[in-house]
Chain A
Amino acid sequence: MATTSTPSHTGHDHDSPEYIKAQVRKYLVIGGLLYVLTVVTVVISYFELPTIPTLILGMAVALTKASLVALFFMHLIDEKRLIYYTLLLTMLMFAVCMLVPSLTTHSAVGEHQRVDVKAQGEVHHDKPAGDHGGGEAHH
């Protein structure tokens, strides 16, 4: 990343002391924000909410923190297209790896109609013989 001191396409001289010092100030602010969000995470735990709301809140905070780290500490807000495309491809494959196995083994995708089960007044859905190890996913 270290070129000789020609101005970058954004018009900043990425090597000037003023620019670096401004970046440092930004990093300290982001660091502070991350600390605040960590406290928020701990506070969420004290509410002892059910799983789904906790999951949503917790992951939302985590995503915010992760975005701050990625965009600012890792300079992604200012990065070159090559890196963006590489990461886009990676995120796509990450999503596939995360979601598809569960979709495939969770046999509710496919034949079984939830309607029948609900009509029987049961809260959890029955899994057929093709399932393994677990049963209802209740918390």
Chain B
Amino acid sequence: MSDHGHHEQSFISKYVFSIDHKWIGIQYAVTSLFFLLFGFGLMMIMRYQLANPGATIPLIGGLMAGGTFFADNGSLGAEGYNMFGAMHGTIMIFLGVVPLAVGGFGNFVVPLQVGAPDMAFPKLNMMSYWVYFIGGVVMLFSFFVEGGPSQWGWTVYPPLSVIVDVGKLGQTIWLGGMVFLITSSLLGSINIIVTIVQMRAPGLTMFRLPFFVWSQLVTSFLLVLAFPPLEAAALMQFMDRVFHTSFFLPSGLVVSGKVLEVAGGGNPLLWQHLFWFLAHPEVYVLILPAMGIVAEVIANNTRKPLWGYRSAVYAAIFLGFTSFIVWAHHMFMTGMGTTMSTFFQTTTMIISVPSVIILTVFIISLWGGAIRFTVPMLFALAWMVMFAIGGLTGLPLGLTATDLHLHDTYYVIGHFHYVVAPGTLFGLFCGIYYWYPKATGRMLNETLGKLHFWISLVAMNMIFFPMFIQGMGGLNRRLHTQGTYQIGRDLEWLTKYQSWGTYILLFGSAIFFVNFWMSLKRGKVAGANPWNATTVEWAAPSPPGHGNFTSPVTVHRGPYEYSVPGKDQDFSPQFVA
């Protein structure tokens, strides 16, 4: 450990504006967990409305009746439903999952796994967190302005998101919040790329890196190149709303019987192109870190090397690259010619291949393994099945012929929630259970962990599986009262079980919450390497001190040398000579 004299740090510089990647990672993780809970809360209220149309929301409906969101009888109003829906999506993706996956896990684990004392730019790292925090505050603030927050889906398509501006400051604030969040993401991903490329310990060549590090590298490249077009689009939408420009407003648009008095000549599809140019790579940003975590946990808990490590790495790189040329599969219904829609359909089919390769690598890695059913492993195993369902259900959406029927229905919601909720979130919970000992020096309680796992697995399937049925039946999304349409009435019986699913999930999440905080002080003490793992982060003490490692790290072998014949242990850590 490098001693630079023992200067006592003030509380502010140690815990508020820390430049230590481990603490910043924890800041990101804790903040994002609260945002995930908030986003989940919004959805519980929405699900209640869907299951009990027009009924007073328990507990809060009475308190907040007649405000921006709730009707006079305390039920969730139609506009309130749309607001909660738009903010649920925005908060879960940009304030919840990505900050946890990249800001939390990326920051905490990557420097440790590459044998570095910190990230390449520690002060920039600190600023990235606080810019994210400000962005979060700005987004939350939009709930309290007159007219409420954004209500046009997380996709905020113009013209609708542009023309409604009287008293609807919330959308403009959303745009401002996005600028902060995008900035934070950009700075964070630059930090990760430079750290991985430049600061690996001696002996740690690129193909000795854990798959988790590769997944973070590809993710960060996606963020660097894909986010700026959304920032540009947000600036243009801001100008349309505040300065009455017509970037997205076509000529002759009639609103409420009157021709809109703007210059016109704009194009609503411009927004869609720039938005989806980011938002498609964004979904790979959501899944890649989870894939990385699952890889680590599978190798560790099968006591075998990862089968097909190189294939998985090349697949991840190819996945990242291809993710930039599929975006208009979100726009099949916008009237593009068959040449372009065929192009995007083809690239979308192609991009399913690397995902399948990675999943195959994981499945085959189980074969012949001495599987330990630890809590992380349970999440990893379930992830594989859930991601398979999510991925397979994406195929009819990527094919134009079937997308015709399924676009904007609940089928889409079911598909992407499977990949993000029992997909990514399971991957992230997996990571929390796996790396909590490294971060805190204590193990999370195993019984509570298993309860959390099983309850979440059942609950998530209860919530999301019926969506495929609803979607195939033709029920469209973003609908406050499903009974508006006959198909909604026919399928309404499903919503009851879906909202029970949300209560059960809340219960499971409460167990996790209790476990998380309780184990800080009461958990079983963990040593440096409680999982008998092979990657470099387990060389550091738990928790690591300043500079991370007590002696210089040199790497001697690949990342998953488990059960090597002839050795007396079933694992040969990378960092041991």
Contacts and interface: CB of A to CB of B under 8 A. Distances in A.
Nearest to B229: A97
A132 B269 contact: yes
B230 to A, nearest CB: 11
Given A93-B225, A97-B277, A132 B339 contact: no
Given A101-B269, A104-B336, A110-B340, A96 B325 contact: yes
A133 B267 contact: yes
A111 interface: yes
Contacts of A108: 337
- Give the size range of A's interface with the partner: 20 to 34
B339 A110 contact: yes
Contacts of A110: 336-340
Nearest to B344: A104
B513 to A, nearest CB: 40
- Give the size range of B's interface with the partner: 20 to 34
Contacts of B337: 104, 107-111
Given A110-B338, A110-B339, A104 B273 contact: yes
Contacts of A100: 273, 325, 328, 340
A106 B197 CA distance: 41
Contacts of A109: 337, 339-340
A134 interface: yes
A130 B225 contact: no
Contact of A132 (B221, B250, B277): B250
A130 B324 CA distance: 25
A138 B249 CA distance: 21
Given A96-B325, A132-B268, A133-B250, A111 B338 contact: yes
B270 interface: yes
Contacts, number: 60
Given A96-B325, A97-B229, A133 B340 contact: no
A94 B339 CA distance: 21
Contacts of A105: 267, 269-270, 273, 336
A89 interface: yes
A90 B225 contact: yes
A132 B267 contact: yes
Contacts of A66: none
Interface string A60-72: 0000000000000
A90 B226 CA distance: 10
A109 B335 CA distance: 11
Interface string B323-343: 011001001000111111000
Contact of A133 (B251, B273, B328): B251
A111 B339 CA distance: 8
Q: Main SS of the interface on chain B? A: helix
B265 interface: yes
Interface in A97-126: 97, 100-101, 103-105, 107-111
Contacts of A39: none
Contact of B264 (A89, A93, A97, A133): A133
Nearest to A82: B197
Interface in B76-96: none
A89 B221 contact: yes
Contacts of A96: 324-325
Given A97-B277, A111-B338, A130-B335, A104 B328 contact: yes
B122 interface: no
B53 interface: no
A96 B229 CA distance: 12
A103 B338 CA distance: 12
Contacts of A111: 337-338
Given A104-B273, A104-B336, A105-B336, A133 B229 contact: no
A93 B267 contact: no
Contact of A93 (B250, B324, B340): B324
Interface string A24-43: 00000000000000000000
A127 B267 CA distance: 15
Contacts of B335: 107, 130
A31 B249 CA distance: 42
A109 to B, nearest CB: 5
A109 B343 CA distance: 12
A89 B325 CA distance: 13
Contacts of A104: 269, 273, 328, 331, 336-337, 340
B266 interface: yes
Interface in B257-290: 264-270, 273-274, 277
Contacts of A134: 265, 267
Contact of B273 (A90, A101, A107, A132): A101
Closest 3 A-B residue pairs measured CB to CB? A110-B337, A133-B250, A130-B335
15 contacts: A89-B221, A97-B277, A101-B273, A101-B274, A104-B337, A104-B340, A105-B270, A107-B337, A109-B337, A110-B337, A110-B338, A110-B339, A132-B268, A134-B265, A134-B267
Given A110-B339, A133-B251, 15 more contacts: A90-B225, A93-B324, A100-B325, A101-B269, A104-B269, A104-B331, A104-B337, A105-B267, A105-B336, A109-B337, A110-B338, A130-B335, A132-B250, A132-B269, A133-B267
